[in-house]
Each structure stands twice: as structure tokens, then as C-alpha cells.
Amino acid sequence: MEIHEKLDILSGAARYDASCASSGCGREGSAIRVGNTSQGGICHSWSDDGRCISLLKLLLSNDCRYDCAYCVNRSSNPVPRASFTAREVVDLTMDFYRRNYIEGLFLSSAVMQGPDQTMEEMVRVVEMLRIEEKFGGYIHLKVIPGSSPELVRRAGLAADRISVNIELPSSESLHRLAPQKRKESILEPMKLIGTEIGTSLVERTLSRKAPKFAPAGQSTQMIIGASPETDLQILRLSQGLYRRMNLKRVYYSAFVPVNEDNRLPVLASPPLLREHRLYQADWLLRFYGFSAEEILSDAAPDLDESFDPKTAWALRHPEFFPVEVNRADYATLLRVPGIGVASAKRIIAARRFSLITPEGMKKIGVVMKRAKYFITCSGRPFEKPDREPSRLRQRLLLGDGSEPVQPRQLVLFA
Amino acid sequence: MKRYLYDGTPEGLVSAIAGILDAEKDPQLATLVERQDTLFEEGLFLRTDPAAADSLFSRLRQCAPDAVHTLWYFMMSEAEELETSLLHYVALALEHGDRINGHLTHPDVKAIVSVARKAGRELHRMKGLLRFEQLRDGTYLARMEPDHNVIQPLAKHFSRRLRAQQWFIYDVRRHSAAHWDGSALQFGTLEQFSRPELSDEEREVQVMWKAFFRTIAIPERRNPRLQKSNMPAKYWKYLTEKQGE
């Protein structure tokens, strides 16, 4: 099979993986290496679906033994099958990197003969890049559930980021839709990776020569909307992964119906708005000091479609507002709709020089159309205090206080 | 309100600011504009003094290293008619140190910091969007037309990243070029420029990249508006993946 044909099949099959980050790791270029990595990550292009392209995203093979209901590559699907040789992936990566198309490689794979054989071949690609080609760019490697600890260790020593996909938000759903994958075979490598990252960090404080293990950390991905879990269950799971497994990122991937299967829900289109709200809530968990239980409750276990989760929280907690921007501390400012991490920091910095006026709030970059209902500036409110929640909801919706009804990034089939 | 003039060059600007800071008790009351060479132009012309510019830079580096950064990015923007704001900004930076970048409610600080931030954003963008093409002789060439004059820091970035190959970066708008020969970086200008022939290998790799670009998008999520807002059309001219679409 020609390389062009393989590329078509194996990048087409990799596109459902959401992760594309190239951040979290700064490695200087050196005289003998090709390439470096940038702490903040770099996007190189944006594809027709508007998602960023940072890494050459490929499957090593789509020839899968498993038959997961949601997956385009499941063994019972009559799709064309292909596998790259290690050399082909290495050459493509280097050719693309030299032209500045990419930050590096994202390599995943279908399970070929078995987890260990597949993982072994994937690790070989990465080791070839690092050792033979002296490639210093970014590498994200998927770990195949069920592969041996030794291979996971080799993967972590060669790649910048490694990840095991959790696939579905509960073990019942995993059992139903991906019967050949077991919860333990996913969680065990996750734990191992977490431990190894921790050990490597400690060793590196003792000796700078100690090897780095997955310096850009560990991430995972789950499919949203293929199984019946509520948003609360999903956020609790993410919260647990961040707190206990020390993950860098959890990716949410709106279920794209690519197969007909009576175990799957029938959807007119992928649940993109739900995916978007989950990412917003995920940000609240990681950067805004919220817990899953604050964002959602058993009584209302799903995210509001009309408001972002922070505005929804603010509407449920009128007692918290208004917040005085000239006195409130950082954590309190972060809870105001329309004030993000950057503007909260800027407010704190600007307060050292003078009191902040309403004009100043705009200069700082606060989204006033949302924030104005929740703040005072030196005691003066922006809007007539109106704390009746239902009326405030109405005004936020009508007064352009929330996002547009058809959020821009969610236009379907345009 | 005293009015000062300078010659319009970046060095002239910094040296004029140094001169005013020396002469004026309260620089916040002075203004600085580019000389227009009309007869009877009002204001005191300050001659460019490289030594004064240098010493201002080193003073600033000592007490406000972040402000030096801001100044660098501001210069990349080639912004016009903000000289007075810059003068006031530098005076404030010498007084308050790096904290000054937080004083965003001050109109001059806000003006300078936002211009600098915009330049920084474009520099970051170009690190991703620049495309190198392999020529017949094996060297690589990248062309660009950025809004800001980012070639120096951009070339520095690639001298660390793509150090094993020889390359040129050419700014088509400013006729400026950077050259990495595998060990050293050089800058210059090119008045005449025509793109040399591409290598055969280059054509093949470009076909593959375009194929990858096409297939990596999820058809059910097609969203050209989001694509355009992340990657404005003004950059498409030199993007390999956007040619022949």
C-alpha cells in the first residue's frame, strides 16, 4: 500500500482523539538535537473543524482486534485497514517537523495482535525518533490498556506526555460498550504513570542527570454522550483524576455516531454544546477553585445549556454578591462571572496604584456585560441591585449577558 | 507642556526619551513626536545619541526587566503616534519598576502594554504558522508578511529549533531576511526577491501535508468560522495547506 493511502486511513482514524496539546514541557534545543519544545505549546494550523493542529496525529495501525461499539475502527466494521512501519512514521514526523508544520508526534494505535505487541511497536517508533534521529520535539504517546509495566516505563522515558484513555465515564458503560477493555487495565497503567512521574520529580531534585519521566504529565480522554452518565458523575470522575491521579488534563470528546449499534443512542449531531460546557466546568475545577459538588448537585445533575457553569453558580448564590472589586481577594474575584484568571490578576496588580473605576474595569479586560450584575466599584453598583434570581436570569439572557444563543464555535453543518 | 521632536528611527526614539528624562523635572508634562521637516515646526529637535539610548536601556534593565521586554515588543509593532505615551511609560517604569505593567488603568501604560501584547501575540502565532520549503540545493526558505516586525526574535526561535538545516526567513513586506547557515544567524535586506525552484522531495511532502490537513478534520464538526477566527485569512497566503484549495 502506498504511503499516501496509509496516511489517509490512519490520520482519518486518529482524528477522534481530542488531545492536541503540545504544552507543559520546555526543552532547550541542543547542538546535536533536531527540535525543542515550548512550555506554552504552539499551534501550527487549524483544520476545517476549527480545532488546532499542533501534533502529527496518527494511528500506527487501525487493524483492531477489539470491537468497541463507539469506535470507527472496531473489528466488525468493514473499513479499509492499514498499518505504518516504524520507519514511515519516523520519516513523516521528521519531514513535517523540518518544515514547521508540527510541534511533534501524537501516536496512538488500534490493538493489533495484543496490547504488548502493539505497545512494543509504538515504543519502538518513539525510541527511533529520540535515538536515531535525535528528535527533540514533542511526543505524545497513547498507552494501550493492558500493556506491561515495563513497556509503560519505556514509553514514559521517551515521550513528553503519555495517556491512557478512560474511554467512558463508568465501568458499567465500559463493560457494555467496550467489553474487551477492563477498568483495571486502564487504571493500573494510570497509577503506574502517576507514581513514576512522582519518583522522577523527586530524583531530579537530587540529581539533574536523573531521567525525566513524561515531563509534560499524563492526560486522558472520555467520550461524552454515548452512555447515560450525568454531568455530575463525569465531573466527579474528572475531579478524582485531578486530585488522586494527578492528571494534567481530562479531554471530553463529543460522541460522533460513526457506527450503527443498538447499544448506542441515536443522535442527530454530536453533543457539542454539552462538550463545551464540560470543558468550562473542567476549567472551574482546575483554575477557579470550584469543586464538582459546587457546580452540580444530585438535584440538578446536568449543566445548564443557556448559561456557562460559573454564571449558573452565581445565579444560585445571590448571597455571595455583589463583590467589591477594590477589596475582594483573588479567590473571590475568580467567582465573578466575566472575570477570568487574567483579569483577576490584573485587578489585583492595578489596585496597588489606585482605586479601580468602572472605566478601569473595561481597560483591564473584564467582560462587563456579565460582570456588571455581580460587582460594586468602591461601593457603587453598576446596575440597580436586582437580586431576584429569575429576573436576573432573564436580563442576562436578553441583555447579551450570556453567550450568543448559537455559540460561535458550535455552528453545525455550516 | 514642552514639545520635543526626533528623527523617526527606533534608536532616535529611545535616545530622545533618554534626553527628555535628563532635562525635564516632570516628564509627564512633556510630549514627543516625529519630526515632519516642515518649516517653523514647533518643538526642540533631539539628535540621535546611541550612547544615551544604550545607557537608558541598561538603567531600565536594572530596575524594570519586564518593562524592557515590553519596550522590545512595542518596537516590533512599528506603532506610530504613541511616542508621548512611551515617554510617560518609561518614566513611570523607572519610578515604579516592573510593577508598572500592572497599572493598566493608566492610559499611557494601557496603550503601550496593549500594543506590546499584540506584537507578542503575533510573534507567537508566527512561530506556528511559518512554513519552510525545501529548495533545489537543500536549503529551506520561509516567506511571511506579518503586521509586526517580528523577524529577529522569530529567527532566534528557529535557530534553536531547526539548527541542523540551513534556512532563510524572508519578510516580504519589509524586504528583510534572516539566514541560518547551521551555526550562525545573520540579518540583512533583500530588495530583489524571487522564489527559487522547490525540490522534488518538497513537492511530495507538501502533498502529504495537505492530505493530512484534509483528513484530520472531523466532517461532522465542520466549522470554517472557528477556523478563520483562530487562523485569520491574512496568514493563508503562505500556508502550504491553504494553497490550491
- Give per-residue pLDDT as tens, A362-377: 889 899 988 999 999 9
Over the stretch A88-129, which tens digit does the pLDDT of each residue have? 999 999 999 999 999 999 999 999 999 999 999 999 999 999
Q: For residue A385, is pLDDT > 70?
A: no
Q: What is the pLDDT of residue B12?
A: 93
Q: Which residues of B touch A272 (CB under 8 A)?
A: 221
Residues B112 and B95 in one domain: yes
Answer yes or no: do A202 and A325 share one domain: no
Could you tell me the pLDDT band of residue A359, with boundaries at 50, 70 and 90? confident
Do A195 and A71 belong to one domain?
yes
A407 has a pLDDT exceeding 50: no
A36/B160 Cβ within 8 A: yes
Residue A275 lies in a domain: no
In a domain, A295, yes or no: no
pLDDT at A68 over 50: yes
Q: Which of A221, A256, A276 is the last residue of a domain?
A: A221
| Interchain contact A413–B (C-beta under 8 A) | yes
Query: ∠B123-B127-B129 over CA atoms, to 5°?
Result: 105
Q: How many domains does chain B have?
A: 2
Q: What pLDDT is attached to residue A387? A: 60
- From chain A residues 326-365, the ones with a CB under 8 A of any chain B CB are 346, 348-350, 352-354, 356-357, 359-360, 363-364
d(CA A264, CA A267): 9
Paired sense of beta strands B44-45 and B3-6, if any? parallel
A346 is a domain residue? yes
Distance in angstroms (rounded) separating the CA atoms of residues A26 and A22? 10
Which amino acid, one-letter code, is at A351? R
Query: Confidence class of residue A80 from pLDDT cuts 50, 70 and 90?
Result: very high
Domain containing residue B16: 3-123
Indicate whether A232 belongs to any domain: no
Q: Which of A176, A200, A221 is the last residue of a domain?
A: A221
Pairing of strands A380-381, A375-377: antiparallel
Q: What is the pLDDT of residue A31?
A: 67
Same domain, yes or no: B59 and B41: yes
Residues A197 and A87 in one domain: yes
Q: Which residues contact A229 (CB under 8 A, 6 or more apart)?
A: A168, A169, A170, A173
Q: Which domain holds residue A126?
A: 3-221
Contacts of A354 in chain B (CB under 8 A): 105
Of A28, A364, A413, the CB nearest to B104: A364
Are A68 and A168 in the same domain?
yes
CA neighbor of B104 nearest in space, from A376, A351, A335, A336:
A351
Give yes or no: residues A217 and A95 share one domain: yes
Do residue B220 and residue A95 have CB atoms under 8 angstroms apart? no
**Angle A215-A219-A223 from CA coordinates, rounded to 5°:** 165
Asked whether residue B45 falls in the same domain as residue B79, the answer is yes
* Contact residues, A window 264-283, toward B, CB-based 8 Å cutoff: 269-270, 272
Determine the Cα–Cα distance for residues B196 and B189; give it in Å rounded to an integer: 17
Quick check: A100 and B158 CB within 8 A? yes
pLDDT at A397 over 90: no
Query: Do residues B157 and B81 both lie within one domain?
Result: no
**Do A331 and A196 fall within a single domain?**
no
The greatest distance separating any two alpha carbons of chain B, rounded to the nearest whole angstrom, comes to 67
Provide, as residue numbers in chain A, all residues whose Cβ is less than 8 Å from the Cβ of B200. none
What percent of chain A shows pLDDT beyond 70? 94
* In a shared domain, residues B70 and B98: yes
Instruction: Give the SS3 label for residue B223.
Output: coil
Single out the residue of A242, A237, A244, A149 nearest to residue A189, CA to CA: A149
Return the CATH number at A164: 3.20.20
Amino acid at A234: I
In whole angstroms, what is the distance from residue A147 CA to residue B18 CA? 65
Listed residue (A148, A137, A92) closest to A115, CA to CA: A148
Within-domain flag for A265 = no
Residue A144 lies in a domain: yes
Distance of CA A221 to the CA centre of its chain: 7
What is residue A209's predicted lDDT score, i.e. its pLDDT? 86
Tell me phi and psi for residue B213, to 5 degrees: -60, -40
DSSP-assigned states of every residue in A298-311: SSS-S--SSS-HHH
What is the model's pLDDT at position A406? 45
Judgement on whether residues B23 and B61 belong to the same structural domain of the protein: yes
Same domain, B82 and B169: no
Assess whether pLDDT exceeds 50 at residue A78. yes
Assess whether A197 and A315 both reside in one domain.
no
Q: Report yes or no: A72 at the B interface, CB cutoff 8 Å.
A: no
* Boundary residue ending a domain (B66, B89, B123): B123
Same domain, B178 and B228: yes
* Chain A positions in Cβ-Cβ contact with residue B164 (cut-off 8 Å): 34
Give the per-residue pLDDT at A384. Answer: 66
The number of domains in chain A is: 2
pLDDT score of B5:
94
Please say which residue of B123, B157, B174 terminates a domain: B123
In a domain, A350, yes or no: yes
The answer to whether residues B103 and B9 belong to one domain is: yes
- pLDDT value at position A20? 75
- Confidence at residue A401, expressed as pLDDT on a 0 to 100 scale: 46
Give the distance from residue A132's alpha carbon to the nearest chain B alpha carbon, in angstroms: 14
Residue type, B218: I
On whether both A28 and A173 belong to a single domain, the answer is yes
Q: Sort A158 into a burial class: Cβ within 10 Å, 0-12 / 13-18 / 19+.
A: buried
Of A169, A190, A221, the residue that ends a domain is A221
The string of pLDDT tens digits covering residues A192-205 is 999 999 999 999 99
A18 & A162 share domain? yes
Which residue is associated with the grid cell 501584547? B117
Does one domain contain both B94 and B149?
no
Same domain, B57 and B119: yes
Q: Within a 10 A sphere around the Cβ of B3, how many other Cβ atoms?
A: 13
| Cβ burial A181-218 (10 Å sphere, 16+ → b, else e) | bebeebbbbbebbbebbeebeeeeeeeeeeebbbbbbb
Alpha helices in A288-357 (DSSP H): 292-295, 309-316, 330-333, 341-351
Q: Are B69 and B177 in a shared domain?
A: no
Strands B140-144 and B167-171: parallel
Are the C-beta atoms of A16 and A256 separated by less than 8 Å? yes
Q: What is the pLDDT of residue A402?
A: 45
Is residue A176 included in any domain, yes or no?
yes
Nearest to B222 among A349, A357, A413 (CB): A413
- Among residues B92, B123, B154, the one where a domain terminates is B123
C-alpha–C-alpha distance, residues B73 and A11, integer Å:
38
Report the residue from A36, A254, A363 with minimal CB separation from B104: A363
Of B45, B60, B58, which Cα lies nearest the Cα of B12?
A: B45
Distance, CA of B14 to chain centre: 16
Low-confidence residues of chain B: pLDDT under 70: 245
Of B160, B212, B223, the CB nearest to A49: B223
A348 vs B contacts (CB less than 8 Å): 102
Closest partner CB to A414 (pick from B101, B216, B224): B224
pLDDT value, residue B245: 66
Identify whether the C-beta of residue A22 lies closer than 8 Å to the C-beta of residue A38: yes
Helices in A245-377 by DSSP H: which ranges? 272-287, 292-295, 309-316, 330-333, 341-351, 358-364, 368-371
Gap between the Cα atoms of A43 and A53, Å rounded = 6
Q: Is the pLDDT of residue A342 over 80?
A: yes
Lowest-pLDDT range, A187-191, A241-245, A267-271, A400-404?
A: A400-404
Nearest CA to A125 out of A82, A155, A164 is that of A155
